[in-house]
Amino acid sequence: MALEVMTTEGDGVILLTPVYHSFSKCWKQFTEFGYIGSYQSNGIYSIDFEDLEEKFKDHANTVMIMCHPHNPIGRVWTRDELERIHALSLQYNVPVISDEIHADLTLSRTPTCELWDP
């Protein structure tokens, strides 16, 4: 519902890959998706922040959607990663919708922080 209010036909939506399949299916009819690459190093998925910044710079992209913890990989983003996303969001005036529904279900018992925690 939030995405319907925040976008119009042809707007771009930034998504992290791999992506929770329902994100790309729900709004495919009226948006373009900018997929951000992630990479795996020593068994840990990381965000390609150079790629992410390029997507934020693209004026066609009007919102970013992310899962925290990430679905489907279960990765809990660090405070530093969340602060970097927040800084890019502010710098390029692109809001972030953070799906944190599974925050209390982390297998590693790693504490999570919300995207906008002070």
pLDDT 10s digits, 76-88: 788 888 899 999 9
Tokens of residue 87, six digits: 């800084």
pLDDT 10s digits, 39-56: 556 777 888 899 899 999
Higher per-residue confidence, 54 vs 18:
54
Q: pTM for the whole thing?
A: 0.75
Distances from the Cα of 38 to the Cα of 10, 19, 48, 83, angstroms: 25, 10, 5, 17
Go through the domains of the chain in sequence order and give each one's CATH number. Answer: 12-38+45-105 (3.40.640.10)
